[in-house]
Amino acid sequence: MTAHYLFICHSDRGHLIPTLAVVAELTRRGNRVTYLTAECNAGLVAQAGAEPVTYDSPYRLAHSRRLEDDPLALLSLLLDESEAMLGAAGRVTGRPDALVYDISVLHAGRILARKHGLPAAQFIPIFASNAHYSVLASTYEGEDRGDLDRELPGWVDGMVARIGALARVHGVLDDPAELWWEIQDRNVVALPRSFQFAGETFDERFAFVGPCLGERTFLSEWEPPGDGLPVALLSFGTAARSRPELLRTCVQALAGLPWRTVVTLPDGVDPADLGPLPPTVEPHRWLSHLSVLRHASVAVTHGGIGTTMEALYSGCPLVAVPTTAMDRPPARRIQELGLGRALDPARLTPEGLAEQVLAVAGDPLVRRAVAAMRQEISDSGGTSRAADELERLTARAAA
């Protein structure tokens, strides 16, 4: 039995791209998918086989370093994003059989599900939260929490009030605190369970399917030039725009090694900003990480979950240099599980980074830990299992 799924996700590509892999698998199986998305992503959504319905994205307009460094400001902005999505949801044609919402816009997802009586699944491409682990608390771990502890109660009260007001506009009168904090009955988590903090405490409502990967025809492929040099991937994602000095330090470190370094750059970063480069350092834009990681001995990254999962899927160890508060939990997990190293960006030097890259590449304990994680990722099911979970959701609803 095929079904009609409505997907919603904000315009950050680190969240969008994993869902598109699942969308492509669902449409390949004959399902219909409508995707509520920012105008800038409509082409990617259509390539995955879905019907885009677009809205004006507050997140797209407001993205800045302040948001990267301030999770509370980001969460407030994502409530604005949810409001914009709900305003556009009326243009979806045909009643969906199920709703799939990214955790970033859970407010819109939960309001829509209640408004239309839809079975819903939450898609989580980051760490999941429950009574034993909080993404927000983990982001601030190790910091002086004095200001946060003073600010948080008032901020939470304000968010709950805003959620309640938004829900009432759409005829949903449920407790707004429940709309925010409830645990969805079906959660698809794009991590292997052992990478999740407190992974053993999550119950059957959470399916840890591992990274959801698919074809990315909008990205260029890469092949090594055949010089036999070890390969490193260097990627800081969009953080490269806000922390160019860290990116330059990493480039300088890797340029001094007898390695080939592939640097991926986001829009807004000019390769000339990296300074003079030897021929062994290749800057690229819109390059497939997976095509590089097949050959790489180490990935140097800011700790973004997407790149981290791609590296582990490929059996590549990591050196993480977290650039924002939200990068610290993945970097910490990499270190804790022996999958590489996490370095303090405030103390980063070219010499220190080069030393750590060589140490990680040559460490047999790291290689064994990465190999075990790669096997767990393979066993978790990935994109195919995520699609299975969603088809089970609609099958149960139709029964």
- Tens-place pLDDT, residues 202-252: 999 999 999 999 888 878 999 999 999 999 999 988 777 778 888 999 999
The helix (H) or strand (E) run that includes residue 98 is: strand 98-102
The pTM of this model reads 0.94
Structure confidence at residue 68 (pLDDT): 61
Q: Which of 76-90, 229-243, 280-294, 312-326 bottoms out in mean pLDDT, i.e. has the lowest?
A: 229-243
Structure confidence at residue 67 (pLDDT): 59
**What percent of the chain has pLDDT above 70?**
96
Structure confidence at residue 69 (pLDDT): 63
Tokens of 389: 């979970």
Domains of the chain, by residue range, sit at 4-210+381-398, 231-378
Q: Which of 192-206, 233-247, 313-327 bottoms out in mean pLDDT, i.e. has the lowest?
A: 233-247
Structure confidence at residue 219 (pLDDT): 85
Q: Kindly indicate the confidence band of residue 64, based on its pLDDT and cuts at 50, 70 and 90.
A: low
DSSP 8-state code for residue 175: -
Scanning the chain, the segments in alpha helix (DSSP H) are 13-28, 42-47, 58-62, 65-69, 71-88, 106-116, 135-139, 146-169, 176-181, 239-242, 244-255, 289-293, 305-313, 328-336, 350-361, 364-380, 382-398
One of 3.10.20.90, 3.40.50.2000, 3.40.630.190, 3.60.20.10 is the CATH number of 231-378, namely: 3.40.50.2000
Tell me: pLDDT of 50 over 90.
yes
CB 116 within 8 A of CB 98: no
Tokens of 178: 């429940």
Domain 4-210+381-398 shares a fold with domain 231-378: yes
Average pLDDT over residues 350-361: 98
Average pLDDT over residues 321-350: 94
Q: Kindly indicate the confidence band of residue 148, based on its pLDDT and cuts at 50, 70 and 90.
A: low
pLDDT digits (tens, 9 = 90+) for 67-123: 566 778 888 999 999 999 999 999 999 999 999 999 999 999 999 999 999 999 999
The rounded distance, in Å, linking the Cα atoms of 384 and 213 is 9
pLDDT digits (tens, 9 = 90+) for 255-275: 999 999 999 988 788 888 888
The rounded distance, in Å, linking the Cα atoms of 244 and 265 is 11
What CATH superfamily is the domain 4-210+381-398? Glycogen Phosphorylase B; (3.40.50.2000)
